[in-house]
């Protein structure tokens, strides 16, 4: 497991039924591309988060396949519709098999 | 003007690298787009790609893509060692087919976005980003 991985998510606490809300996510991760070399000229092995998904009550909102060209601390901003009260599940999949998960509940206003 | 051997080598080497490298490294934009669409024609409407004209730091270049009605958007960077950047698949819960993120660019190059629409057609947009400091290490 990569060190210092911390997911952060910004979701409004309430929304009107059917409203479109903006979600911002950021996860601290060094996103090693596998192209850099250390001081001795050895290639530093690739270690990135290769997939990110967001679900709302089991329905997919967005599913992102990521390549090494995504910057350090991957940041995503996207929009979701909220038909009912429920819970957003955010999941990040690491190259080393680790899975990082964060949940955010939202109420109807 | 008197050049020393060292200066001559340095100048000619740099000129050679500048003239040859972009040709070798840059995959052409139309080729990359047709690689995604499977040879189908991609229209230029229905998708917008927002990227800075000049990025001082190639390590984090903010981009945003908006393609109403798309089921998936693929982002490519033509001049990176590996052109793939990310693929966004939009599900039933998405409020709009748009997304913002930050990407790495190795140098001045085209950033390409290809959207696959719900009816199976494709739309593509590209923009050239000037990069002052490349973002791929090495």
Q: What's the predicted TM-score (pTM) here?
A: 0.81
Contact list, A29 vs chain B (CB under 8 Å): none
**From CA B111, how far away is CA B127, in angstroms rounded?**
5
Interface test with A, best of B95, B107, B109, B136 (most A CBs within 10 A): B95
Burial (CB count <10 Å: 0-12, 13-18, 19+), residue B67: buried
Residues 6+ apart with CB under 8 A from A46: A32, A33, A34, A68, A95
The ipTM estimated for the assembled molecules is 0.89
Q: Which two tokens stand for residue B70?
A: 């798309």
**Interface touch A36/B101, C-beta < 8 Å:** no
Neighbours of B106 (CB within 10 A): 20
Task: Record the tokens describing residue A61, joined without a space.
Answer: 């909102």
Q: Report yes or no: B74 and B26 within 8 Å, Cβ to Cβ.
A: no
| A57 vs B contacts (CB less than 8 Å) | 93
**For residue A109, what pLDDT band results from cuts at 50, 70 and 90?**
confident
* Number of CB atoms found within 10 A of residue A19's CB: 16
pLDDT of residue B131 exceeding 60, the answer is: yes
Residue contact A65–B59, C-beta within 8 A: no
Tens digit of each residue's pLDDT (9 = 90 or more) over B32-68: 888 888 888 888 888 999 999 999 889 999 999 999 9
3-class state of residue A13 by DSSP: coil
- Chain B nearest-CA residue for A59: B93
Q: Is the CB of B87 inside 8 Å of chain A's CB atoms?
A: yes
pLDDT digits (tens, 9 = 90+) for A43-101: 999 999 999 999 999 999 999 999 999 999 999 999 999 999 999 999 999 999 999 99
Q: Which region holds residue B38: left if phi is over 0, alpha if psi is between -120 and 50, else beta?
A: left
Interface-testing mutation among B51, B68, B94, with chain A (most A C-beta atoms within 10 A) = B94
């Amino acid at each position: 497991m990569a060190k210092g991985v911390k997911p952060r998510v910004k979701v409004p606490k309430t929304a009107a039924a059917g409203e479109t809300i903006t979600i911002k996510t950021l996860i601290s991760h060094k996103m090693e591309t596998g192209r850099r070399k250390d001081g001795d000229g050895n290639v530093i092995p690739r270690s990135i988060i290769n997939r990110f998904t967001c679900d709302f009550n089991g329905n997919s909102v967005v599913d992102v396949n990521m390549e090494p060209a995504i910057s350090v601390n991957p940041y995503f901003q996207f929009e979701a519709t909220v038909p009912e009260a429920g819970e957003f599940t955010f999941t990040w999949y690491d190259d080393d098999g680790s899975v990082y998960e964060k949940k955010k509940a939202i109420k109807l206003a | 003007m008197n050049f020393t051997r060292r200066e001559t080598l340095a100048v000619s080497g740099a000129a050679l690298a500048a003239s040859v490298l972009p040709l070798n490294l840059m995959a052409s934009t139309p080729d990359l787009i047709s690689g995604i669409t499977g040879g189908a024609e991609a229209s230029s409407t229905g998708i917008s790609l927002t990227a800075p004209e000049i990025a001082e730091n190639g390590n984090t270049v903010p981009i945003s893509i908006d393609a109403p009605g798309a089921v998936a958007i693929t982002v490519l960077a033509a001049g990176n060692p590996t052109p793939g950047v990310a693929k966004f698949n939009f599900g039933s819960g998405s409020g709009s087919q748009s997304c913002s993120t930050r990407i790495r660019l190795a140098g001045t190059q085209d950033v390409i976005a290809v959207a696959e629409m719900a009816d199976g057609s494709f739309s593509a947009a590209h923009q050239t980003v000037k990069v002052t400091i490349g973002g791929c290490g090495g």
